[in-house]
A and B are shown apart, each in its own frame.
Chain A
Amino acid sequence: MGETEEKTKPEPAGSGSHVPGSFQQILKLTRAQFQEYLASRRFVILLGIVAMIGLIITAVVGAFHDRAFLHALVSSPLAFYGSFWGGAASFVIVLSAVFFGGDAIAGEFQNKTGYFLMGLPIRRTTIYVGKYIAALLASICVLFVFFLIILANGVYYFGGDALPWQFGPSLLLSIIYLVAVLSTTFLFSSLFKTSAYGFVLTAILFIIGFSLLQDVVQSILDYQPWMVISYASSAIGGVFGTATDPCTGAVINTINWGLNGIYGIPGGPAARAGCPATGGPREALLSGPTWTPGIAEAVVIMVGYFVITSIVGLLSFEREEFA
Chain B
Amino acid sequence: MTHPSIECVQLTKNFGTFTALSRLDLKLEGAKCVGFLGPNGAGKTTALKMLTDMIFPSSGECFINGINVREERKKALAEAGVLIESPEIYPSLTPRQALEMVCDLRGVPQNLRRDRIEEVLSEVKMQDWVDKRFGKFSKGMKQRINIAAALVHDPGVVILDEPATGLDPRGMAEVRDIVRGLKRRNRLIFMSSHILQEVTDVCDEVALIDKGKLLFYDTLSNVTSKFADGAPTIDVGLSRPLGDESTLKQVEGLTGVTSCVLLEPKRLRLKFKGGPSAQEQLLASLVELKIGVITLSEPESALEEIYLKQISKGD
Among listed B148-156, B208-216, B251-259, B264-272, interface-contacting one: B148-156
Interface pair A17/B85, CB less than 8 Å apart: no
Beyond A2-B200, A3-B201, A14-B155, whether A122 also contacts B55 by CB under 8 A is: no
* B85/A115 in contact, CB under 8 A: yes
Contact B105 A119 (CB under 8 A): no
A323 to B52, CA, bound (A): 12
Task: Tell me if B304 is interfacial: C-beta within 8 Å of chain A.
Answer: no
Q: Is A16's CB under 8 angstroms from B90's CB?
A: no
Q: Is B105 within 8 A of A13, CB to CB?
A: no
A17 contacts across to B, CB distance below 8 A: 78, 106-109, 153-154
Contact-residue size bin, chain B (C-beta under 8 Å from the other chain) = 35 or more
B106 touches A121 (CB 8 A): yes
B49 and A14 form a contact (CB under 8 A): no
Residue from A3, A16, A114 within 8 A of B109 (CB atoms): A16
Answer yes or no: A120 CB below 8 A from chain B CBs: yes
**B interface footprint on A11-22 (CB within 8 Å = 1, 0 otherwise):** 111111111101
Contacts A8-B185, A14-B79 hold; do A323 and B55 have CB atoms under 8 A apart? yes
Complex CA distance for A256 and B89, rounded to whole angstroms: 49
Q: Please tell me the number of chain A residues within 8 Å of chain B, measured between CB atoms.
A: 43
Asked if A13 and B74 make an inter-chain contact with CB atoms under 8 angstroms apart, the answer reads: no
A323 to B, closest residue via Cβ: B55
B88 within 8 A of A: yes
Q: State how many angstroms separate the Cβ of B220 from the closest Cβ of chain A.
A: 5
Counting CB contacts under 8 A, is A25 at the interface?
yes
Contact present for A121 and B75 (CB under 8 Å)? yes
Instruction: Assess A8 versus B88: contact at CB under 8 Å? Given A20-B105, A28-B105.
Output: no
Q: Is the CB of B53 within 8 A of A18?
A: no
Residues in B with CB closer than 8 Å to A11 are: 185-186
**A1 on the B face (CB < 8 A):** yes
Which positions 156-204 of chain B face chain A at CB distance < 8 Å? 156-157, 180, 183-187, 200-202, 204
CA distance A63 to B236 in the complex (A): 92
Q: Is the CB of B88 within 8 A of A112?
A: yes
Complexed CA–CA distance, A62 and B154 (Å): 63
State whether the Cβ of A156 lies closer than 8 Å to any Cβ in chain B.
no
- Asked if A36 and B88 make an inter-chain contact with CB atoms under 8 angstroms apart, the answer reads no
Q: Would you call B102 an interface residue if the criterion is a C-beta within 8 Å of the partner chain's C-beta atoms?
A: yes
Given A2-B200, A120-B102, residue A15 in contact with residue B149 (CB < 8 A): no
For B80, list chain A residues within 8 Å (CB): 121
* 8 Å CB interface, B98-143 against A: 98, 101-102, 104-109, 112, 116
Q: Is there an interface contact between B77 and A120, defined as CB atoms closer than 8 Å?
A: yes
A161 within 8 A of B: no
- Provide the A203-243 mask, 1 if CB < 8 A to any CB of B, else 0: 00000000000000000000000000000000000000000
In the docked arrangement, what's the CA distance between A17 and B78, Å? Answer: 8
A121 and B78 within 8 A (CB): yes
A30 to chain B, nearest CB (A): 11
A1 touches B104 (CB 8 A): no
User: Does B84 have its Cβ within 8 Å of any Cβ on chain A?
Assistant: yes
A17 to B103 Cα, complex, angstroms: 9
Residue of A nearest to B101 (CB): A32
Write the B89-100 contact mask toward A (1 if CB under 8 angstroms, else 0).
110110001100
Residue pair A36, B84 in contact (C-beta under 8 Å): no
Q: Is A113's beta carbon under 8 Å from chain B?
A: yes
Residue in contact with A36 in the complex, picked from B90, B104, B107, B220, CB distance below 8 Å: B90
Q: What residues on A are CB-neighbors of B49 within 8 Å?
A: 322-323
B residues within 8 A CB of A323?
A: 15, 49, 54-55
Q: List 21 A-B contacts (CB under 8 A).
A: A1-B219, A2-B200, A15-B116, A17-B107, A17-B153, A19-B105, A20-B104, A29-B105, A39-B92, A112-B85, A112-B87, A112-B88, A115-B54, A115-B87, A116-B88, A118-B84, A119-B52, A120-B106, A121-B106, A123-B73, A323-B15
Q: A15-B116, A115-B88, A122-B77 are in contact. List 16 more A-B contacts (CB 8 A).
A: A2-B297, A2-B298, A5-B183, A13-B155, A15-B112, A17-B109, A20-B104, A20-B105, A33-B90, A111-B88, A113-B90, A115-B85, A115-B86, A118-B53, A119-B83, A322-B55
